[in-house]
Chains A and B, each alone.
Chain A
Amino acid sequence: MTSGKIGRWVGFVFALLVAASMLLYTAKDSMIRRAPVEIDGYTQWDPDLVEAFGSMAVQDGGRVKPLSTWAGFELLALNGKRSIKFKSDGKSVKIGPTEWVLDMMFRDEFANKMEVFQVEDANVLDMIGMSHEGKKRRDRYSYLEIGEHLHEVDRLRNELAEKRQKGQELDLVEDQFLGLYSNIQSYVSMSSHFNPVKNRMADEGSPLAPELQLFSGWVEKWPQLSQFLSSAAQQEGAEMDGLRRVTNMIATRIGESVYSDIAMMPPSDPEQKSWPKRQGWLSHYMQFKTGPDADQITYLKEMEKLALGYTYDGEKGLLKEVNAYKGRVAEKMKARGGEGDKIKSEIMMYKLDYFYRSLTPFVLGFLVVAFGWIAPATRWGRVCNRIAWVLLVYGFILVTLGIVHRSILMERPPVGNLYDTIPFITAVVILVLGFMEWLTKRRVCIGLAFFFATLGMFLAMWYEESKGVDPMNPLIAVLRSNFWLATHVITITIGYAGGLLTAGISHVYIFSRLFKIGDDDKSFSRFLTRVVYGGVCFTLFFSLVGTILGGVWANDSWGRFWGWDPKENGALIIVLWTLVILHARMAGYIRDWGIHICSILLAIMVTFSWWHVNFLSIGLHNYGFTGGSGLKAIWSFYTLEALVVFVGLYMALTQGKSKKAALPEKA
């Protein structure tokens, strides 16, 4: 067997291993680690109701979005996944975010049993004296389990808030506890949203006036009614007992009303941008600490209609009320300049799930290319190549459509935050490597394209899951410049892509030399070196232009061209390193091995600038997440790349020695 053939089999096995590990990662959540929780008697929601409820408008994070999007990110933040699995009456059940919110709001007897609170470290539970026997260190818990310790949760939270106020730093476990606290707050806000209005104050046959049979009626007429109730409290008699019961009911509903901070209805004034949130308004109003608010009262009435629709007529009643409510709200939103007119489009975007769907052609394509490597010059190899191209183009179209659709929804250029960089870099890498493959036809660049594409899409999924925050929320004032987003951010991101794909090609060089692939074809190594040289030039151009454009933008925003911000420094490091490579090459200080080893180091620098700086918690560009797993992944990458560098250095030195040994002696 020639070295080339062995090498192609090595490449094929490597591709299989990569594809298998990626499939395993996707399937990890399907693998049952321990018995899922049992929630007997659970029935699935009517799909029409789920769709209608999920398409209601919610204002969150500074924009109007579908309830299904909001619910998805709420669930991600708590649970780390967009779905919940459990067993009911012996059957496996899987529900999505909208169904979960419906359960929380209308059937909390089921919702409270669902294990949705992901706790990263069981030490967090030790802080509140909660048992976690039988569970793993990183596991999920239900509200029912945590609810027994709410008193401790509140006490500890106040303690840590005081600690923070004194300027003391919190340790990782304390930080995670505060994260859990925030999740509990979100949960309670959602589950108590309809509580004050879930039931009528009195049945329809009661002697109370019709408007007073509803809680909203009491709220609306509260200034007059409260006086009547306080005097009734002093008197005796069966009627007075009834009124005292009403007073207690009102007090209970007020108590339950303070947690909700969901904005589901636009205000009547088209000029007012913020939608009303109940929070403490009802409590303050009923205690005369604040005046009446027509929008809040309307909001309460609308929520009451929805809640009573379910209470008295089940899912059918709720569906009817939801559709009627959406009609009324649509009129209001139209008057507010078409607010929410992208809701349908956004629902479609999440349904199409471009990035997740693109994984199929990318993983398949990688396997197909690998199969083609076994016998490239045969008909089999050519057929594999054609199929691979079709899959690459299909995957690229999906990723591009996803990027374009998001841009249209956000009304800004495609890259505005860290999440946006991932699919964009993936698309650029596919485009550039696809172009290289078209030019060179070596089936190396196309394989690399599939590899990077798959990694990129997994990274996007992992980042979204771990952050649990809607990446389409609007940007802060200083970033709201479409010109600069389209120039500086795009060029810098292309620079990152260039650095990574260049390093990827250098990996192919190092491993092909290590496994002696292509030893029978000298032009193969030369080709890889030329491509890497071109990649370094490409990276330099975009990184340099992007970095300095960033400085020009910063000068217009903050009055300083260069502030030594970590993100700026990271970009400068990339520029300097690419300059070092090109100048060292020009001066003859480095040759083939040197370029490739330096290119691997470039990947480390790109990772530092793209990801690591976000963990430093400082600087105007700090918008990343600080989870421990993210930092671990980065250090693992550095270690891996350092290993590759050492392999390269070893190969370079040993090959250098054997070349010297092979030189004939001078006469």
Chain B
Amino acid sequence: MAKKNKNVATRVIDVLGGFHVAIVSMVLLLILTWLSTLEQTGPGGLYWTLKKYFSFDAWYVVPTLNGKDLPIILPGGYWVCVVFTLNLIFGGVIRMRKGIKQLPIFFSHVSMAMLMIGGAITYHQSREAYMVLPVGASGDFAFSLTELSVEVAEIDGYDKKRPYVIDSKQLEAVRGQVGATQEYLFPELPFDIRVSDYYINAKLYPMQGSAPEGAVAVDGYYAMAAEPTGHEEQNLSSCVVRVIERESGKQHEVMLYEGVGHDVTVTIDGKVYGFRMHGEVWNTPFQVRLDDSRGEKHPGTGMAMIYESDVTVLDSDGNAERSFKIEMNKPLRYKDLTFYQTSWEEKDGLVESGFTVKTNPSDQWPKYSIYACGIALFVHFIIKLFGFVSSSIARNKHD
């Protein structure tokens, strides 16, 4: 009998849905997971290791072990997950034999595919930032611990006008790049700026005599690059900003340092402009007021026992809308945002609570998928176990 001629699409589905792709992608994912676990212990830490192994831009990976590059090239983890998900859909769902016996495995494949797709949505669509509130205060913004921005704003007395933000994506061109310079144009302002000498982790030193070779001295200080720590949120970045007046061509130079909590100012045409480098700000759609916060340590130790907060969500007029209690393992989920109790500090009688604020359209997908998959696999394996037990008992009787 002649073989049926398959079209290209069918052939692609056959290949992508085959066992060999399943096995190869799982083995690759295993190797990437293992190598990234070991590389996390190095100077790069988790943040940079994940960027290297599992980011969208990482088409391939050259693993590093004990500071040395290994002589292998592996496909990037993100793309291996894409292939694996396609394999799940084509092989585990579409091509899979359908029947009552195969139903549990079918459902478990569907739920795993849902898990992987949920992961992709999380990667591309989720956003996370950090909000710190003292008790009694309210806030409507959070800031990123890992993505930095440079803000420029006109300062009028004690008021700061709407800032112009150069976000982390725009700063990629200079971030950690030795000798790199990038120009940013501000048509609405009388100047443009040039950012250079962006150190991912820097130490600021006061000038004593002359600055060391290669360091740029600004306003009596210079920054030296330090080895980035393994925790991105602990790195303190710095950069040099050259402000170029458009009309006169006059230039001003300022040093921005993440560890400094205030603006560095430049006066141009009688107006004061503030420059600042800090975590990218994310304005939340509603205000949150911290009514009370309690923290307790295990007696006689420094180990946290309880951190919990009473918060009230305020409407646009500042009136109380709803009250919630946030505890460890019990976040507040409200209007597409989730608030997690992350930290708690009491200093000189003032209590401050730290919340991780997150938005993630696929937040609950893993929960649903594991419930479905767990039930399906349980049914499948119980049937297999029953068969094994019955045949063993029958064999023993026969013996």
Are A556 and B329 within 8 A (Cβ)? yes
Contact flags B27-50 to A (C-beta < 8 A → 1, else 0): 101100110111011000010011
- The answer to whether B128 and A559 touch across the interface, beta carbons within 8 angstroms, is yes
Q: How far is the CA of A521 from the CA of B128 in the complex (A)?
A: 62
Closest to A565 in B: B46
Shortest Cβ gap from B341 to chain A (Å): 9
- Proximity bits, B345-364, A CB within 8 Å = 1, else 0: 00000000000101000010
Contact of B19 among A263, A573, A589, A608 (CB under 8 A): A589
**Chain B residues whose C-beta falls within 8 Å of the C-beta of A60 in the assembled complex:** 300
- Whole-angstrom distance between the alpha carbons of A263 and B367 in the complex? 44
A316 at the interface (CB under 8 A from B): no
**CA distance in complex: A596, B271 (Å):** 77
Render B328-344 as a binary contact track against A, CB cut-off 8 A, 1 for contact: 11110000001010100
Q: Which residues of A contact B300 (CB under 8 A)?
A: 59-62, 263, 274-275, 277
The answer on a CB contact under 8 Å between B381 and A556 is no
A137 within 8 A of B: no
Given known contacts A477-B304, A534-B384, A616-B41, A576 and B26 CB-to-CB distance under 8 angstroms: yes
Question: Among A558, A564, A580, A608, which residue has its beta carbon within 8 angstroms of that of B340?
Answer: A558
Q: Distance in Å from the Cβ of A163 to the closest Cβ of chain B? A: 16
CB-CB under 8 A from A63, the residues of chain B are 298-299
Q: Which of B304, B328, B378 has the most A CB atoms < 10 Å from its CB?
A: B328
B305, A62: Cβ atoms closer than 8 Å: yes
Establish whether residues B392 and A440, one from each chain, have CB atoms under 8 Å apart when the complex forms. Answer: yes
State whether B30 touches A576 (Cβ < 8 A): yes
Chain A residues contacting B128 (CB-CB under 8 Å) are: 559-560
Q: Is A570 a contact partner of B298 (Cβ separation < 8 A)?
A: no
Is B56 interfacial (CB 8 A cutoff)? no
Contact (A583, B30) CB under 8 Å given A481-B329, A558-B340, A564-B36: no
Which residue of chain B is the closest to A534 with respect to CB atoms? B388
Q: How far is B312's CA from A13's CA once the two chains are assembled, in angstroms? A: 71
A477 with B356, Cβ < 8 A, contacts A538-B381, A541-B378, A564-B46 known: no
- The count of chain A contact residues (Cβ–Cβ below 8 Å) is 64
| Chain A 464-519 residues near chain B, CB threshold 8 A | 473-474, 476-478, 480-481, 484
B370 within 8 A of A: yes
Chain A's closest residue to B122 (CB) is A561
A579 at the interface (CB under 8 A from B): yes
Residues of A within 8 A of B115 (CB): 548
Residue of B nearest to A558 (CB): B340
Is B119 at the interface (CB under 8 A from chain A)?
A: yes
Number of B positions contacting A (CB below 8 A): 60
How far, in angstroms, from A555 to B303 measured CA to CA in the complex? 22
CB distance from A182 to the nearest CB of B (A): 15
**CB 8 Å contact bits of B277-310 with A (1 = contact, 0 = none):** 0000000000000000000101111011111000
Instruction: Tell whether, in the assembled complex, residue A544 and residue B41 are in contact, meaning their CB atoms are under 8 Å apart.
Output: no
Residues of B within 8 A of A558 (CB): 340, 342, 356
Cα separation A589 to B19 with both chains bound (whole Å): 9
B389 within 8 A of A: yes
Inter-subunit contact A534/B385 (CB<8 Å): yes
Q: Which of B27, B37, B305, B367 contacts A616 (CB 8 A)?
A: B37
Instruction: Report the separation of the CA atoms of residues A587 and B366 in the bound assembly, to the nearest whole angstrom.
Output: 28
A259-291 vs B, CB cutoff 8 Å, 1 = contact: the mask equals 000010000000001110100000000000000
Contact A579 B296 (CB under 8 A): no
Neighbour of B331 across the interface among A540, A559, A584, CB < 8 A? A559
Does B373 contact A556, Cβ atoms closer than 8 Å?
A: no
State whether A569 touches B36 (Cβ < 8 A). yes
Please judge, given known A-B contacts A478-B329, A559-B340, A566-B40, whether A537 and B384 are in contact too, CB under 8 Å: yes
Q: How many whole Å from B329's CB to the nearest CB in chain A?
A: 5
Assess whether B256 is interfacial by the CB under 8 Å rule. Answer: no
Could you tell me if B41 and A580 are in contact, using CB atoms closer than 8 angstroms?
Answer: no
User: Is B75 in contact with chain A by the CB < 8 A criterion?
Assistant: no
Give the residue name and chain of the A residue nearest to B307 (CB): A477
User: Are B34 and A552 neighbours in the complex by a CB distance under 8 Å?
Assistant: no
A355 within 8 A of B: no
Nearest-neighbor residue (CB-CB) of B128 within chain A: A559
Q: How far is the CB of A483 from chain B (nearest CB, A)?
A: 9
Binary flags per residue of B305-320, CB closer than 8 Å to A gives 1, else 0: 1110000000000000
Residues on the A chain within 8 Å of B22, using CB: 583
Known contacts A541-B378, A545-B370, A573-B34, A439 near B329 by CB under 8 Å: no
Q: B residues 125-184 with Cβ under 8 Å of A?
A: 128
A62 touches B298 (CB 8 A): yes
Q: Say if the beta carbon of A401 comes within 8 Å of chain B.
A: no
Write the nearest CB–CB distance from B257 to chain A, whole angstroms.
Answer: 18
**CB of B54 within 8 A of chain A?**
yes
In the complex, whether A572 has a CB less than 8 A from a CB of chain B is: yes
| A548 x B338 contact (CB < 8 A) | no
Q: Which residues of B contact A613 (CB under 8 A)?
A: 37
- In the complex, per-residue mask of A534-550: 1 if CB is within 8 Å of any chain B CB, else 0: 10011011001100110
Inter-subunit contact A562/B369 (CB<8 Å): no
Q: How far is the CA of A534 from the CA of B329 in the complex (A)?
A: 35
* B329 engages A573 (CB within 8 Å): no
Q: Are the CB atoms of A274 and B30 closer together than 8 Å?
A: no
Residues of chain B lying within 8 A (CB to CB) of residue A556? 329-331, 340
Residues of chain A within 8 A (CB-CB) of B329 are 478, 480-481, 484, 553, 556-557
Q: Which of B20, B34, B328, B381 touches A477 (beta carbons < 8 Å)?
A: B328
Cβ A545 vs Cβ B374 within 8 A: yes
- Say how far B367's CB is from chain A's closest CB, in angstroms: 5
How far apart are the CA atoms of A334 and B366 in the complex, in Å?
46
Instruction: Report if A136 contacts B (CB, 8 A).
Output: no
A530 within 8 A of B: yes
Query: Chain B's nearest CB lies how many Å from the CB of A170?
Result: 16
B36 close to A274 (CB less than 8 A): no
* Distance between Cα atoms of A132 and B384 in the complex (Å): 63
* Chain B 366-384 interface 0/1 with A at a Cβ cutoff of 8 Å (1 = within): 1101100110011001001
Task: Check if A570 sits within 8 Å of B37, measured CB to CB.
Answer: yes
B23 within 8 A of A: yes
Question: Does A551 belong to the interface (CB within 8 Å)?
Answer: yes
Contacts of B37 in A (CB 8 A): 564, 566, 569-570, 613, 616
Q: Is A586 an interface residue (CB 8 A)?
A: yes
Find out whether the CB atom of A618 lies under 8 angstroms from the CB atom of B50. no
Q: How far is the CA of A577 from the CA of B49 in the complex (A)?
A: 22
Chain A residues within CB distance 8 Å of chain B: 59-63, 263, 273-275, 277, 439-441, 473-474, 476-478, 480-481, 484, 530, 534, 537-538, 540-541, 544-545, 548-549, 551-553, 555-564, 566, 569-570, 572-573, 576-577, 579-580, 583-584, 586-587, 589, 608, 613, 616-619
Can you spell out 11 A-B residue pairs with CB atoms less than 8 angstroms apart? A480-B329, A544-B374, A544-B377, A548-B115, A557-B340, A561-B119, A561-B122, A562-B119, A566-B40, A570-B37, A576-B26
